[in-house]
Amino acid sequence: MKYLGAVAVFVLAMPAPAGAAEFFAFDGGDDQNMALIEPARIQDIGNGHKVVPINIVEVDFVETLDITTIEMDCTASQWKVVSEILYTSLDPTSEPIDKTAANEPGWQTVREGSLFQEYFTFTCHWPDVPNRSDAAEFPDIWAAANAAANVIYENL
């Protein structure tokens, strides 16, 4: 996100309902995207490997939610796509499109200074993440994605 403060606005977007999930917002690459990570979904699968869905909300011609599940090798600074599902609306009843096969197969190196490095650092160091922002609480990814889209629209 090129706009300042949008992540902070996301945190204030909605009061926390009972039993809500925490979501952390990250820069999504441009002013039409926001990445969301739900720490409760980070799985430690052993040997320095963690698996996490990275949820990218985009508002362009349509609103989309891209849920890309990534395996991270935290000891070797590498990652690979496990699955990628694209929803062409921010409604849980929208038809999912499986884009997994469109991804680069195998392990990729985390590039210094890349956006992905921030997601990687957050996931691999969770819960001891340095300089992390506050979490926003929502009942599910759909509510979080809609709040993120509203923040993006307000900051375009």
d(CA 33, CA 35): 7
What per-residue confidence (pLDDT) applies to 3? 41
Q: What is the DSSP string of 46-105?
A: ETTEEEEEEEEEEESSSEEEEEEEEEEETTTTEEEEEEEEEESSSSTTSPEEE-GGGSPP
| Each residue's pLDDT tens digit, 92-146 | 999 999 999 999 999 999 999 988 999 999 999 999 987 777 789 999 999 999 9
Could you give the C-alpha distances from 24 to 52, 61, 76, 129, in angstroms and in order?
A: 13, 25, 24, 12
d(CA 53, CA 143): 16
What per-residue confidence (pLDDT) applies to 69? 98
Residues 110/80, Cβ–Cβ less than 8 Å: no
Single pTM value for the model: 0.89
| Each residue's pLDDT tens digit, 24-71 | 999 888 999 999 999 999 999 999 999 999 999 999 889 999 999 999
